[in-house]
Amino acid sequence: MAASVGTTSTTSTALKQYWNDFFIERLVDNLSMKGLTKRARVPNGNGTTVFWVGISKVSAAGAAGTEGADPTTRSSAAFRVSGVLKEYVNLVKNSRLFMDTSIDGTREQIIGDLARDAAKLADDTVLGAALAGTNVVFAGAATHRSNIILASTATIRSIRKAVRLLQISSVPRFPDGYYVGLVHPDVAFDLQSDSAWLDVNRYRDSVKYDIVGEVGSLYGVRFALAPTIPILVNTGSANVDVYRTLVFGPDYIGQSDLGDLEVVINEPGKTSELGMFNTYGYRFVMAQAILQNSRAVRVESSASLGTN
């Protein structure tokens, strides 16, 4: 994740590097999808298309052999999925007087907030793409989003049904032996009421890696909070709000590196003849795509704490 810092010429090289490192450290710390996506490099000079290449699972076609004879040969099936790079940006503009008279640490606060915003933007963009998968389990007795009722809350039965679909499709688990679930806090509240729920502090030392926002596990799924999963307002029966929980295995969603990451600190800003304001911002490019649709299941439910 190479980055550059655009600043005025009066800023020393060492100070530029400091702000660069400051931004990236906080950006990486706040990326909740890190380790959960299949990464791809952003090509230089090769257009705006990013490709992910993989090998599909070998079909179970083994059989008893004949002495002295080779079996019928089969070839592996490769897949290639593409995504299109888009620009993601944010810019803060403050008066020079404000910055000159602000308390110590204001600049650090602004750059830290921008780094957290960049992480949230990247995560939300990838999550939005991931929620477009077509495998769905409806909670309770519902058979369609439109007939989800207030009582259609997520339970261990909903999660078991999602895991079953993944198992039928022979979806592998992550290296620690779990699937991953991204869950809205309202839905997590309902799942945590099940006696089979394990809080994360009861097994943290036994897993190989941390997941940002992890709160616990249920039926072989490690759950992490995703507060920004959009609620589908008034889409259930009698205008019930519908929540989506994503349960998935590795290599479900592809995400490119954050290409051409640039941190901008202009003190003063470049378009003021009198230097009346300062600007702070970032820019990066990214692409994302579903790689193997069978590797995820979306659980749709209501929530007992929901507004509707």
Q: Which residue has the higher pLDDT, 181 or 56?
A: 181
Residue position matching structure tokens 């897949």: 79
Give the 3-state secondary structure percentages of the chain, helix then strand then coil, rounded to 5.
25, 30, 45
DSSP of 117-133: HHHHHHHHHHHHHHTT-
State residue 240's pLDDT score: 96
CB 6 within 8 A of CB 262: yes
Backbone angles phi, psi at 307, to 5 degrees: -65, -40
- CA dist 186 and 243 (Å) reads 9
Percent of the chain with pLDDT over 70: 94
Q: What's the confidence (pLDDT) of residue 9? A: 43
Fold that domain 3-48+81-129+255-289 belongs to in CATH: Major capsid protein gp5 fold (3.30.2400)
Cis peptide before 43 (omega within 30 of 0): no
d(CA 1, CA 276): 33
Angstrom distance (rounded) from CA 19 to CA 111: 8
Give the pLDDT score at 82. 93
CATH class of 146-253+293-301: alpha beta
Read off the tokens for 196. 């089979």
pLDDT in the model for residue 4 = 55
Q: Which residues pair with 214 in a beta bridge?
A: 224
Rounded mean pLDDT, 40-68: 80
Contacts of 1 (CB under 8 A, 6+ apart): 24, 28, 257, 258, 261
Phi, psi of 55 (to 5 degrees): -110, 125
Q: How far apart are CA 122 and CA 32, in angstroms?
A: 9
DSSP helix/strand/coil, 199? strand
**Residue 78, Cβ density class (10 Å: 0-12 exposed, 13-18 middle, ≥19 buried):** exposed
Cα–Cα distance measured from residue 303 to residue 191, given in angstroms and rounded to the nearest whole number = 10
Say if CB 32 and CB 181 are below 8 A apart.
no
Neighbours of 239 (CB within 10 A): 9
Mean pLDDT of 278-296: 95
Q: pLDDT tens, 25-39?
A: 999 999 999 899 999
139 SS3 class: coil
CB 240 within 8 A of CB 246: no
Say whether 146-253+293-301 and 3-48+81-129+255-289 share the same fold.
Answer: no
Give the mean model confidence (pLDDT) for residues 142-165.
Answer: 96
For residue 35, what are its two tokens?
A: 């380790």
Distance CA 293, CA 253 (A): 9
Q: Would you kindly state where each structural domain of the chain is located, as residue ranges?
A: 3-48+81-129+255-289, 146-253+293-301
* In contact, 51 and 82? CB cutoff 8 Å: yes
Rounded to an integer, what distance in angstroms lies between the CA atom of residue 172 and that of residue 150?
33
Q: What is the pLDDT of residues 94-106, one digit of tens each?
A: 998 887 888 788 8
Q: Which of 50-64, 200-214, 229-243 has the highest mean pLDDT?
A: 229-243
Distance (Å, rounded) from C-alpha 224 to C-alpha 227? Answer: 10
Distance of alpha carbon 227 from alpha carbon 56, whole angstroms: 33
Average pLDDT of the chain, as a whole number: 90
Mean pLDDT value of segment 260-289: 89
pLDDT of residue 101: 81
pLDDT of 57 reads 65
pLDDT of residue 55 exceeding 60: yes
Phi, psi (deg, nearest 5) at residue 237: -65, 140
Res 80 pLDDT > 60: yes
- For residue 7, name the pLDDT band (cuts at 50, 70, 90): very low
Tell me which of 299 and 4 has the higher pLDDT: 299
